[in-house]
Amino acid sequence: MNLFGKIILLLSVFFSTVLSAPIKPIPQSMNVDQEKTALGQKLFFDPQLSADGTISCASCHDLENGGDDGRKFSIGVNGKEGNINAPTVYNAVFNFRQFWDGRAEDLKAQVFGPIENPVEMNMTMAQTVEKLKQNTMYLSDFAAVYADGITEENVADAIAEYEKTLITPNAPFDRYLKGEKNAIGSEAEEGYGLFKSKGCIVCHNGVNVGGNFYNKFGIFKDANSSALGRYNITKQEEDKFVFKVPSLRNVALTAPYMHDGRADTLKEAVEIMSEHQLGRYMSEEEIEKIVAFLKSLTGELPQSVKKNRL
């Protein structure tokens, strides 16, 4: 598809979203299996899932601080550095695919990625299963939940079930959408208007304010990205520099931004998006108002995380 065709497609998406509810509030809870969730929570925080016993899922997804690790690139086993910015795990259940390149179709499929990545946890799932089978606690816990005990599928299933609970409802903007008009200030409200009128809403809409389709990074200006995105999966030339659109939920807590961590602040991120994705200029005042709106997307921590603080 050429550039003109892509612009037409984006415009059609834009008008279809603005004529309906472009952003929807996060639900208050998710339907989950509580026993699987409890088991998945143990696994999520357990560094035994890594080859050197130092890295857990929580190492790169700090639930106290936005659900990511605050780094440009994450640090894995033996101090190895990755090559792509870790996305937040919060509200990942609402993404249509997982990972920047969308290679995992859901949370369960996603679990295999970091465990088996040589620069993250550096274990095969088969090795993980054998390691867990040496732990009497896990033998008992898995037997209580799964008829076939500890298997690769069950490890992934339990972690994914826990991750489904990692949602952040009741953001000021969600309360605003539900009719609490004083939940956000006038600057954030004007920022939301600009977010729509400038075209940001084309890619960042829905429950997760993003995370629901792919787009090229650098539509109007070459973004000079070394990461190839979807091309690594499809090997199709048109998929070079195409990434899953990230969620903007809790974005004020998840700096640095972009797949390569190139933006240190929200202001800088908005400027980059304006130039590369929208092809338009925004004034300092407009950017400040959009940033105020983005800050209103910070929701409440899940109950399980709040309890850990006590």
Domain boundaries, the chain: 3-27+169-295, 34-164
Residue 55 has pLDDT above 70, yes or no: yes
The amino acid present at 66, given as its one-letter code, is: G
DSSP collapsed to 3 states, 195-212: HHHCCHHHCCCECCCCCC
Residue 11 has pLDDT above 80, yes or no: no
Question: 277 in helix, strand or coil?
Answer: helix
Task: Tell me whether domains 3-27+169-295 and 34-164 share a fold.
Answer: yes
Residue-by-residue DSSP string for 153-173: HHHHHHHHHHHHT------HH
What band does 189 get if pLDDT is binned at 50, 70 and 90? very high
**Under 8 Å CB-to-CB from 117, ≥6 apart: which residues?**
76, 82
Instruction: Work out the average pLDDT over 262-291.
Output: 95
Q: Which CATH architecture has domain 3-27+169-295?
A: Orthogonal Bundle (1.10)
**Under 8 Å CB-to-CB from 51, ≥6 apart: which residues?**
77, 121, 122, 123, 127
What band does 141 get if pLDDT is binned at 50, 70 and 90? very high
Q: Render pLDDT for 157-172 as a digit per residue (tens, 0 to 9).
A: 999 999 999 999 999 9
Q: Has 268 been annotated as catalytic?
A: no
**Cβ-defined contacts of 5-8 (< 8 Å, 24+):** 6/216, 6/219
Q: Render pLDDT for 64-78 as a digit per residue (tens, 0 to 9).
A: 999 999 999 999 999
The helix-helix angle for 34-44 and 152-164 (nearest 10°) equals 100
- Choose the catalytic residue: 81, 105, 116, 120: 120
Q: Are 13 and 22 in contact (CB under 8 A)?
A: no
What band does 303 get if pLDDT is binned at 50, 70 and 90? confident
CATH (residue range 34-164)? 1.10.760.10
- The CA distance from 100 to 88, in Å, is 11
- The CA distance from 53 to 121, in Å, is 9
